[in-house]
Amino acid sequence: MKRSLRRAKEFALERLLFLSGTASVVFVVLIFVFLLREGAAVFGHVSLGHFLGAKFWYPISSPAKLGILPLILGSLLVTAGALAIAVPLGIAAAFYIAEVAPKRLRTVLKSCVEILSAIPSVVLGFLGITLLVPFLKNFLGLPTGLTAFSGSLMLAFMAMPTIITISEDAINAVPREYKEGAVALGATHWQTLVRVVIHGAFPGIIAAAMLGIGRVIGETMAVMMVTGNAAVIPRTIFEPVRTLTATIAAEMGEAAQGTPHYHALFAVGIVLFLISFAINLTADLFLNRGKKR
Amino acid sequence: MRNESLKQRLGFGVLLLATLIVVVPVLSILVLILLKGWGALSWKFLLTMPRDGMRAGGIFPAIVGTTYLVFVSIAFALPIGVMAAVYLSEYARDNWLTRTINLAIINLAGVSSVVYGLFGLSLFVIFLNFGVSIIAGALTLGIMTLPVIITTTREALRAVPHAYREVSLSLGASRWQTVRHAVLPRALPGILTGAILSIGRVAGETAPILFTVAAFYLPKLPTSLSDQAMALPYHLYVITTQIPGIPESYRYGTALVLIGLVLVMNITAGVLRARYRKKR
């Protein structure tokens, strides 16, 4: 009797474990469903093509103009700038940390990277607005320091931890035999790195760059604080822009529930969700390919 | 040959330079915030209400709000996260369901923080009718931090040597008894690491709480989970961008408290992890 009671208890517990295990799937589905619930209604006002392709975002004029092309271009510009800085620096730093640095220094450097990833984005935004923005305005002689470039600089640092740690894992995962083989053939350590290790680590490095993109596109607070938030199509990187994320964060507070503006902001959320979904899926494919070899 | 060794020194020099460009700003940020914020810190700053349109007084309500959010969201996410990790590490087979779960975890970790805010608004504030409240914000933050808890716990469980499980099972213990008595106790430090890391994450996030809980200014402390609350990261955002004429030391002081809180959590987690790794 006692035994069957115990078995019933264990059965219940194991069901509970299973349910918790599937919770992540449930939450991903819930996020998508509840974004759709509030966002789908925007397509009663504009067509999908208009929403993604029209050049004007004047959500509170009447009738509201709900084209998110300027926002998409703003996000792309800031992201491209950030990647141009973060990818080369991040990969180089990953090589230094994984292959060159002495063991003690490696630990210190890795902690620095960890600290960087822990700094809240609002703190970086605060420093950006108090130090970086006035500095860039004076240094580059711009009418305002609140530009896409400021955003790119901030975001480059926020993407760095992702890029460094994942590239470093990929570099460490290159089989030792490869390196030993190269060295045995008379290659220097440097030649081994640039001719052998980099090839073995390549899929992982691609994944690192992709996840860096994901991190940058989704970043909100720091970007909103330093990019100036002008919802116009940018011509150069030294102009104010407004990103997809900043638009949601800045406007949701004032958008009345049920208005086209409100639905449009949720639809922007759907766009962001789909972008991060696609990026993570592809990065995962690259990571698995790296592992199989 | 000399040419090659010169190339190597040059190459390593470039790599070092890149690393310094990443690391030096991090350290300068920490030193700067510490130096500029230290002057503002006092018991009065930490433990009194703001005055004069938040231009004077303290940040007590923001600290209280963040504490509420941290505890409620961890109380929600830790059990689910740990159980999910136990399922994935001890029970799940390598099939399509497990692969789907793993993909879902990766995606949860990748969703933009402001999208979590929209989700929280749509599900908790509006659909479940919680209103803008601590419970809505904490649940949103809890779901956001779930991937951190699951992955660190899973890592801790996998690090427990297989022999423990085999011995326990061979002595006639059931699967659950094995997990409960042979595996979980040894994974405890790792689970704790995940919990502490996610506290740091929850305390520092702004975007998910923008529309779900955060209040610009409240004259009173929250008294229940259905109240709105102020929170440290949102408070820093507000006094940086929305209110002109705040003394700079006041902003740096708030940033110092926030970053201090987050870093203490991260360092504790790091020390804990280093300790249990050494033990093995």
pLDDT tens for residues B176-219?
A: 899 999 999 989 888 888 899 899 889 999 999 999 998 888 88
Would you say A21 and B92 are in contact if contact means Cβ atoms under 8 Å apart?
yes
- The pLDDT tens digits for B228-252 are 999 999 999 998 888 888 888 889 9
* Residue reference for tokens 């996840």: A211
Q: Is the dihedral of CA B218, B221, B225, B226 positive or negative?
A: negative
pLDDT at A289 over 90: no
CATH number for region A49-292: 1.10.3720.10
- Residue B122's pLDDT is 94
**Whether B270 and A245 lie within 8 Å, measured CB to CB:** no
Q: Which of residues 97-136 of B touch A (CB under 8 A)?
A: 97, 100-101, 103-119, 121-123, 126-127
> How far apart are the C-alpha atoms of A290 and A287, rounded to whole Å?
5
Q: Is residue A290's pLDDT more than 70? A: no
Q: Distance between CA A88 and CA A100 in Å, rounded?
A: 17
The stretch B136-151 carries a mean pLDDT of 95
Structural domains in chain B, sorted by start: 64-231 (1.10.3720.10)
Residue B160: what are its φ and ψ, rounded to 5°? -75, 125
Is residue B64 a contact partner of residue B234, using CB atoms and an 8 Å limit? Answer: no
A109 and B CB contact within 8 Å? yes
User: How far apart are alpha carbons A111 and A117 in whole angstroms?
Assistant: 10
Residue A293 pLDDT > 60: no
Q: What's the pLDDT at B1?
A: 58
* Chain B interface mutation, best of A100, A221, A243, highest count of B Cβ atoms under 10 Å: A221
> With a CB-CB cutoff of 8 Å, which residues 159-218 of chain A face chain B?
160, 164, 188-191, 193-194, 211, 214, 217-218
* Interface contact flag, B108 A28, Cβ < 8 Å: yes
CA B14 to chain centre: 34
Of A27, A114, A249, the CB nearest to B114: A249
User: Residue B50: phi, psi to the nearest 5?
Assistant: -70, 150
Q: Which of A5, A103, A122 would you mutate first to test chain B, the one with the most B CBs within 10 A?
A: A122
For B239, the closest chain A residue by CA position comes to A126
Which is it for strands B50-51 and B56-57: parallel, antiparallel or unpaired? antiparallel
Query: Counting beta carbons within 10 angstroms of the beta carbon of residue B34, is it exposed (0 to 12), middle (13 to 18) or buried (19 or more)?
Result: middle
Q: Where are the domains of chain A?
A: 49-292
For chain B, say whether A18 makes contact (Cβ under 8 Å).
yes
What confidence score (pLDDT) does residue B45 get?
A: 86
Please check whether residue A38 touches B, CB under 8 A: yes
Structure confidence by residue, pLDDT tens digits, B108-141: 999 999 999 999 999 999 999 999 999 999 999 9
A159 CB contacts (<8 Å, ≥6 apart)? A82, A83, A86, A90, A212, A213, A215, A216
Question: CA quadruple B63, B69, B71, B74: dihedral positive or negative?
Answer: negative
pLDDT greater than 70 at residue A171: yes
Looking at residue B214, what DSSP letter applies?
A: B
Residues of chain B with Cβ-Cβ distance to A114 below 8 Å are 266, 270
Chain A residues with CB inside 8 Å of B122's CB? Answer: 34-35, 37-38, 266
Distance from CA of B204 to the nearest CA of A (A): 5
Cβ of residue B242 closer than 8 Å to a chain A Cβ: no
CB contact under 8 A, B112 and A217: yes
Could you check whether the bond before residue A234 is cis, i.e. omega within 30 degrees of 0? no
Q: What is the pLDDT of residues B41-100, one digit of tens each?
A: 888 888 888 887 777 788 999 999 999 999 999 999 999 999 999 999 999 988 899 999
- Structure token pair of residue A32: 């998508």
Q: What is the 3-state secondary structure (H, E, C) of A60-122?
A: CCCCCEECCHHHHHHHHHHHHHHHHHHHHHHHHHHHHHHHHCCHHHHHHHHHHHHHHHHCCHH
pLDDT at B22 over 70: yes
Give the least confident one: A57-66, A112-121, B34-43: A57-66
Picking from A5, A26, A31, A211 by the largest number of B CB atoms within 10 A of its own CB, the best residue to mutate is A31
The interface pTM score, or ipTM, of the predicted complex is: 0.91
Tokens of B11: 């190459």
> Across all residues in chain B, what is the average pLDDT?
90
